A and B are shown apart, each in its own frame.
Chain A
């Protein structure tokens, strides 16, 4: 039978904080796991797998940014640069020292966390606008440094080629294999974030976001938690950068420019600030949007534009639509897609007796 609830009857904090609020949630997770681990890789075409792979990487990075912006209320316009720090750290370690991915990946994350803490340092003294500008400066300085120091960037093109990840002699060299590789990290990131935000640390983050002075009074060391938020967030960003590097087989600073930081901000705003599910929606949405725009323009736009113009038109359209969506969601639905989903769900949860 369908399990139906008729209200909130939780009697302990344990029940309130549980990962699975309803028994049906457990089954949902089992079904999702079955779909993603068994059914999708067996049935879905390689091209669509590659899109899913990009979504998985985006989820990791967007979760990190949401921990910082959505949960802790600090802003960062420098996440693209943190990703590049992770990417180049991993690429250098993999190529120069020949380390395997299970060492370079955490190394890239840690390096990004270190840089993130340094860039986040001003957040201890200033906030809001000033922090936004400081992280913007961080982005530009890191971009410049990578581009101008051959020891990091590996020479003229500022890019380093990296081999495919390899585990116990098994190489993840096709989209289907990379799918499992990236799925694993996306799931780890999701579960880690879910657990982080309901832990002591996550609640401290939310307290700092909502009212930092009050948070300090109830005994939260806000300096520590702000830096921690920057560290965790940039760790995710670094890992995301490493995943990009292994996915594309190359570390290139052009993948991590200012525009990428804005893409990721768009993800969390469209998806929903301070929500893990919303982050996933946002990552899916923002990854699919350019693909949809491209397919649309290739079919419809070819009537109006030549092939040469098309690339410019598509990239312009993509940016314009992103910006429009950011503004739209900020004004109309600040809680993003997650709120829309919650509205739909709570409608059906008590359906048909909604009163």
Chain B
């Protein structure tokens, strides 16, 4: 391969693995939106909270596996409680109210999280070494490989869950039409809670992999800003869409950083995804795989 091609390949590879890690977080957003129609602007803060809990648990000399179990349980409990305390009372209120309530949750987590768990940036070491793993002519840091693998694993599991398992089918029914689902004897409230709990699990693992890659502090919450381009591109209620959207955003961002940064002095990585998102919003607001059910004006 020529040098140009190799460069492009390396960019695409790294973008794809980062993109898969984005889709892991976006998955939490999609699960909640799909089942409950609630919009979670605090997804990034969920990830931050999970990261903070993990490093705090590790700080108490807990083994990694125990820390992961703790964070999964804590995030399930947290998102469960959040649904009960904040989102349940807002049922039936305009969508703007829900959006602003989750923005409020984001602010609370950003404010109190570091106060409770510590302000300084901490490392979250995973036992995977830092020797880059060679793939073809390019190589990836192991954490990105692990993150991408975790994301893919989740997609397989959730795919099975929604297609085959009884609970998954019931959840799809709830997402499709709450009243009919209720008439069929499905406990809708329980599935709302379940959706939030699943979002909690996803955020917990997202917190572990992202925290390990970027280090854990308040800035970790900024990852959540990338969720919106991913879910808009893929479609808000599509799990496959989160995967494809994540891949596209990751690759676009990586290519933009590789080819445009030298000309504009850096930072295109944080810019290109939003431009792409605005274009998608104008042309195809329901995304690639989303249901065409946008309320038009």
* A residues at B contact (CB < 8 Å): 69, 73, 75, 77, 122-130, 132-134, 136-138, 140-141, 144, 147-148, 212, 222, 226, 262, 265-266, 269, 309, 312-313, 316-327, 330-331, 334
Contacts and interface: CB of A to CB of B under 8 A. Distances in A.
B156 to A, nearest CB: 28
A326 B296 contact: no
Given A133-B277, A141-B274, A327 B282 contact: no
B47 to A, nearest CB: 17
Nearest to A311: B119
Interface string B263-276: 01111001100110
Nearest to B232: A133
A326 B101 contact: yes
Q: Which applies to chain B's interface (DSSP): helix, strand, loop or mixed? A: helix
B251 to A, nearest CB: 19
B113 to A, nearest CB: 8
Interface in B48-96: 86, 89-90, 93-96
B108 A320 contact: yes
B271 A141 contact: yes
B100 A321 contact: no
B100 A316 contact: no
A316 B112 contact: yes
A327 B297 contact: no
B285 A126 contact: yes
Given A148-B264, A222-B297, A137 B285 contact: no
Interface of B: 39, 41, 86, 89-90, 93-97, 99-101, 103-112, 114-115, 119, 225, 228-229, 232, 236, 264-267, 270-271, 274-275, 277-278, 281-282, 285, 294-297
Contacts of A324: 104, 108
A331 B89 CA distance: 6
Contacts of B90: 330-331
A123 B109 CA distance: 29
A75 B96 contact: yes
Closest 5 A/B residue pairs (Cβ): A320-B111, A323-B107, A326-B104, A319-B111, A323-B108
Contacts of A326: 100-101, 103-104, 107
A320 B114 CA distance: 10
A330 B296 contact: no
A126 B264 contact: no
Contacts of B95: 128-129
Contacts of A317: 111, 115
A125 B297 contact: yes
Contact of B100 (A137, A319, A330): A330
B111 A323 contact: yes
A330 B294 contact: no
Contact of A327 (B39, B101, B232, B295): B101
B160 to A, nearest CB: 29
A136 B228 contact: yes
B265 A148 contact: yes
A263 B103 CA distance: 11
9 contacts: A122-B281, A130-B294, A132-B96, A138-B278, A312-B114, A316-B115, A319-B107, A323-B111, A324-B104
A137 B96 CA distance: 17
Contacts of B107: 262, 266, 319-320, 322-323, 326
A44 B1 CA distance: 75
A133 B278 CA distance: 9
Given A130-B281, A141-B275, A327 B104 contact: yes
Given A125-B285, A330-B104, A331-B89, 4 more contacts: A125-B297, A133-B281, A266-B107, A320-B110
A123 B296 CA distance: 10
Contacts of A69: 96
A309 B111 contact: no
A265 B103 contact: yes
Contact of B274 (A123, A124, A125, A140): A140
A327 B281 contact: no
